[in-house]
Amino acid sequence: MNILELKEVTKNFDGIKAVDNLSFFLKEGSITSLIGPNGAGKTTVFNLITNYLTPEKGSIYYQGEEITGSLPHRIANMGIGRLFQDVRVFNKLTALENVFVAIKKNCGENPFTSLLFHRRVAKQEEKNMAIGLKWLEFVGLSEKKETLAEDLSYGQQKLLSLARLLANDARLLLLDEPISGIHPEMIERILSLIKRLVQEGRTIFIIEHNIGAVLKVSDWVMLLDGGNLVASGLPSEIKQDQTLREVYLGV
């Protein structure tokens, strides 16, 4: 089944076509990579899916339902989670608190409930604690739970924002450069986590410059250039594809 589908989506910036009549779909439970040179429009595609940018033309469907133009937090609540290129953890909150914020339907987030129904909120917080610890453990940050996010290493911050997405119960994870700028051991760790998530039935959509690494884990690869797909296929096909070399090396 297709979890996400873009149909003829177009977005202009001051007359320049950032995304041009783009159509594709993602299979549920797969890992798909979106690769391409700088300025190809990769992050714009993510911004269109989460509606930080609204497309001028075309439509976007999530689990068969049209989401074009929906409010960003509604789209997030439907199950589309996003890991930002610049991680965007909550610096002054601890690792555990970062994950708590992500938990859905948290009754204590209503100030009047927090004020008047102390016990109900306390009970909810106990549940939150279990969820928070579970996902911190999943990404291997249990020991850092009381550490402020700003004191974590860059790689750990990436793991933390992944834990946040999982606590948010995202079914489709949009990962914007999840393994860029971190050391090789951490790359292996994140890639193996991604594989485990797919086994659990989640769908992963990755933007990445480290092509060698993502080709290893991807089920499907799409090559974006000038706001449109210039090639797509299995990783083994894309590796052989002449277009990849042309786009990246200009030969």
Partner 1 sequence: MNYLLHILIMINIYLVLAFSLNLLIGYTGLLSICHAAFYGIGAYISTLLMINLGMNFFLALLLSILGAMLISLLVSLPSLRLKGDYFILCTIGFQLIVFTILYNWISLTRGPYGISGIPTPSLFGFEFSTIPRYFLLTLIMGIISFIIIRRILISPFGRLLKAIREDELATQSLGKDIFKVKILSFLIAAGIAAISGSLFAHYVTYIDPTSFTLEESIFIATIIIVGGMGNLKGPFVGTVLLFIIPELLRFLGIPDAVAANLRQMIYALLLIAFMYFRPQGIAGEYKFK
Enumerate residues 6+ apart whose C-beta is below 8 A from 223.
35, 36, 229, 230, 231, 232, 238, 241, 243, 244, 247
At position 235, the amino acid (one-letter code) is P
Can you tell me which of 36, 55, 108, 155 binds partner 1, judged by CB under 8 A? 108
CA 24 – CA 2 distance, rounded (Å): 10
89 binds partner 1 (CB under 8 A): yes
For the bound state, the minimum distance from the C-beta of residue 46 to partner 1, rounded and expressed in Å, comes to 10
CB of 120 closer than 8 Å to CB of 128: no
Q: Of these, 12, 59, 106, 228, which contacts partner 1 (CB under 8 A)?
A: 106
Query: Does residue 90 bind partner 1 (CB under 8 A)?
Result: yes
Site map 223..242 versus partner 1, x via CB under 8 A: --------------------
What is the closest distance, in whole angstroms, from the C-beta atom of residue 91 to partner 1 in the complex? 5
Residue 120 binds partner 1 (CB under 8 A): no
Structure tokens at 38: 């700088």
Nearest distance in Å: CB 14, partner 1: 21
The DSSP annotation for the chain comes to -EEEEEEEEEEEETTEEEEEEEEEEEETT-EEEEE--TTSSHHHHHHHHTTSS--SEEEEEETTEE-TT--HHHHHHHTEEEE-TT----TTSBHHHHHHHH-SS-GGGSHHHHHH-HHHHHHHHHHHHHHHHHHHHHHT-GGGTTSBGGGS-HHHHHHHHHHHHHHTT-SEEEEESTTTTS-HHHHHHHHHHHHHHHHTT-EEEEE-S-HHHHHHH-SEEEEEETTEEEEEE-HHHHHH-HHHHHHHH--
Which part of the chain contacts partner 1 (CB under 8 A), choosing from 7-15, 35-43, 123-131, 231-239?
123-131
Closest distance between partner 1 and the C-beta of residue 111, in Å?
A: 4
Site for partner 1 in 155-184 (CB under 8 A): 161, 164, 168
Is residue 73 a contact residue for partner 1 (CB under 8 A)?
Answer: yes
Q: Assess 110 for contact with partner 1 (CB under 8 A).
A: yes
49 binds partner 1 (CB under 8 A): no
By CB under 8 A, name the one of 1, 38, 65, 115 that touches partner 1: 115
Query: Which residue's CB is nearer to partner 1, number 115 or number 249?
Result: 115
Residue in 36, 41, 81, 132 binding partner 1, rule: CB under 8 A: 81
- By CB under 8 A, residue 117 contacts partner 1: no
Name the residues that contact partner 1, by CB under 8 A.
50, 52, 71-74, 76-77, 81-82, 84, 88-93, 97-98, 100-102, 104, 106, 108-111, 114-115, 118, 121, 124-125, 128, 161, 164, 168
